[in-house]
């Protein structure tokens, strides 16, 4: 029975994927398609990986702003349990409608707005800008990082994920304004505003992903050092 139920769930989510992506890829995505169809079909765990890396940056019980929240999956499923409040902003009315309907939680507020003009005053302890930095031009990214800095609490942290440009020169999605050359190309936007910036990458067969943390306080690995026990000799990276 459970095998049949799983097959049915995978089939319905695959159908949803084919309908939604058939004509053109949408700008936002229902991540339940990832859970029930795309992840099992491809073994690509990126959708979960990015939720985990941004969660790792969260100040426990802090106020969180989720920029370009899309379907609201991450706002609820990754950030809301460990935040006092989550304010989630997107300029697509359909995405906000979807988020309110499918990822409602008592401490999550979904707001329709363009982040170029409508970022709330805050202050916020955590700002997440995930899978969306690449939807802006370099000039817009620079202005947005300056605005983000203004609405972050002292010592607050901005985190997120974006993508490295493909070797073939084509954009991964046509909605992307700017895909990054490499880690340094992303770090340069945060360095003028933050004392501590960390960018790292994960490599999948079809893409290289970039993760970033920027803060005037300690970076997540430093802040969470009490959570780790380390033994043995470490190898210094060149």
Contacts with ligand SAM by CB under 6 A lie at 27-29, 68-70, 74, 90-92, 95, 114-116, 130-132, 135
Cβ at position 26, least distance to ligand SAM in Å: 8
Query: 197 pairs with which residues across the strands?
Result: 214
Give residue for tokens 């950030």. Answer: 79
CB nearer to ligand SAM: give 74 or 217: 74
Provide DSSP, 157-169: EEEEEEEBPPTTS
CB nearer to ligand SAM: give 35 or 196: 35
Calpha distance 220→75 (Å, rounded): 19
- Omega into 48 within 30° of 0, i.e. cis? no
Name the residue among 49, 96, 81, 27 with its Cα closest to residue 208: 49
Cβ at position 228, least distance to ligand SAM in Å: 27
Q: Contact at 8 Å (CB) between 211 and 202?
A: yes
Closest CB to ligand SAM: residue number: 70
Name every residue whose Cβ is closer than 8 Å to that of residue 103 and which is 6 or more positions away in sequence. Answer: 71, 72, 73, 75, 76, 77
Cβ at position 143, least distance to ligand SAM in Å: 12
CB nearer to ligand SAM: give 110 or 217: 110
**Long-range contacts, stretch 21-27, CB < 8 angstroms, 24+ apart:** 25/173, 25/174, 25/175, 27/70, 27/92, 27/95, 27/135, 27/175
Cβ at position 193, least distance to ligand SAM in Å: 20
CB nearer to ligand SAM: give 131 or 152: 131
Q: Contact at 8 Å (CB) between 149 and 190?
A: no
Cβ at position 147, least distance to ligand SAM in Å: 12
CB nearer to ligand SAM: give 74 or 190: 74
Cβ at position 185, least distance to ligand SAM in Å: 19
CB nearer to ligand SAM: give 47 or 123: 47
Q: How many CB atoms lie within 10 A of CB 20?
A: 15
Give the chain's radius of gyration (CA, Å): 18
């Amino acid at each position: 029975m459970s095998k049949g139920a799983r097959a049915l769930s995978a089939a319905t989510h695959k159908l949803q994927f084919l309908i939604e992506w058939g004509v053109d890829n949408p700008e936002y995505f229902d991540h339940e398609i990832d859970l029930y169809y795309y992840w099992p079909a491809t073994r690509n765990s990126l959708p979960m990986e990015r939720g985990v890396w941004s969660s790792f940056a969260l100040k426990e019980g802090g106020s969180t702003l989720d920029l370009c929240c899309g379907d609201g999956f991450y706002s609820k499923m990754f950030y809301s349990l460990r935040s006092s409040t989550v304010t989630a902003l997107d300029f697509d009315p359909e995405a906000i409608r979807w988020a309110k309907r499918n990822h409602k939680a008592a401490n999550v507020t979904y707001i329709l707005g363009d982040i170029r003009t409508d970022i709330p005053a805050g202050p916020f302890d955590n700002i997440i800008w995930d899978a969306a930095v690449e939807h802006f031009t370099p000039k817009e990214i620079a202005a947005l990082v300056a605005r983000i800095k203004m609405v972050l609490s002292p010592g607050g942290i901005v985190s997120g994920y974006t993508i490295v440009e493909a070797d073939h020169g084509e954009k991964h999605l046509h909605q992307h304004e700017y895909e990054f050359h490499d880690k340094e190309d992303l770090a340069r936007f945060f360095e003028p505003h933050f004392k501590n910036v960390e960018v790292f990458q994960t490599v999948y067969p079809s893409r290289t992903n970039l993760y970033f943390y920027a803060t005037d306080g300690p970076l997540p690995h430093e802040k969470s050092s009490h959570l780790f026990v380390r033994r043995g000799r470490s190898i210094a990276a060149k």
